Copies of this chain bind each other. A is one copy, B any other.
Amino acid sequence: MVFSVDDTWLLLDNQLCFALYATSRAVTKAYAPLLAPLGVTYPQYLVLLVLWEADGGTTPPGAPMTVGSLGGRLFLDSGTLTPLLKRLEAAKLVTRARSAEDERVVHVGLTAAGRKLRKKAEGIPAAMSCALGLNGDQIATLRDPLRKVLARLHQSSPAEEEVRD
């Protein structure tokens, strides 16, 4: 039995991209019950992860997070982040304020409630690891090649920054 390359590669279940697309959606759905107690969506949770990190232990007042730096970490632009941050602000988890030095910039920070939410989130990674059926090694084994692909895609289509040759 002979298949043409095209026939085989066009089959949905042979495609990596579809596996990626479907799994990503399924994972996001799997977060819903874990995030419900926190009252946030998965993209909102990602914003909080970045803010918790920036807020973190050593020398807390590093450069404050902005819409742009958040977008740099999450690969999202203001078109997505602005309304999302407004919802987090309405939920009283984050603050948004124009920078005094540069009025173009909007600083994003955690409220006390937002900081406090971190405690309730600490069990989530372990719960997801269990839901996915993967241990730490297996997670790394899957994560690292994905980050390689991601880096390559961002290289060929950089998120607006200068491309150095």
Please list the residues of chain A having a beta carbon within 8 angstroms of any beta carbon in chain B: 5-7, 9-31, 42, 46, 49-50, 52-53, 56, 73-75, 118, 121-122, 124-126, 128, 131-134, 138-139, 141-143, 145-150, 152-154, 156-157
Contact = CB atoms under 8 A, between A and B. Distances in A.
Q: Which of A16, A139, A145 has the most CB of B within 10 A?
A: A16
Given A10-B52, A17-B27, A74 B22 contact: yes
Number of copies of this protein chain within its complex = 2
Given A131-B153, A154-B26, A20 B146 contact: yes
Given A17-B27, A17-B31, A23-B149, A121 B46 contact: no
Nearest to A5: B126
